[in-house]
Amino acid sequence: MTKKILIVDDEPNIVISLEFLMKKEGFEVAVAVDGEEALAKVDSFRPDLVLLDVMMPKKSGFEVCEALRADPAKAGLVVVMLTAKGRETEVAKGLAIGADAYVTKPFSTKDLVAKVKGMLGTA
pLDDT 10s digits, 23-36? 999 999 999 999 99
pLDDT score recorded for residue 86: 65
120 contacts 78 by C-beta, under 8 angstroms: yes
Q: What is the pLDDT of residues 60-91, one digit of tens each?
A: 999 999 999 999 999 889 999 988 866 788 88
38 contacts 46 by C-beta, under 8 angstroms: no
Give the separation between CA 18 and CA 41, rounded to whole angstroms.
17
| CATH no., domain 4-120 | 3.40.50.2300
Q: What is the pLDDT of residues 93-122, one digit of tens each?
A: 888 899 999 988 888 888 999 999 999 988
Q: What is the pTM of this model?
A: 0.93
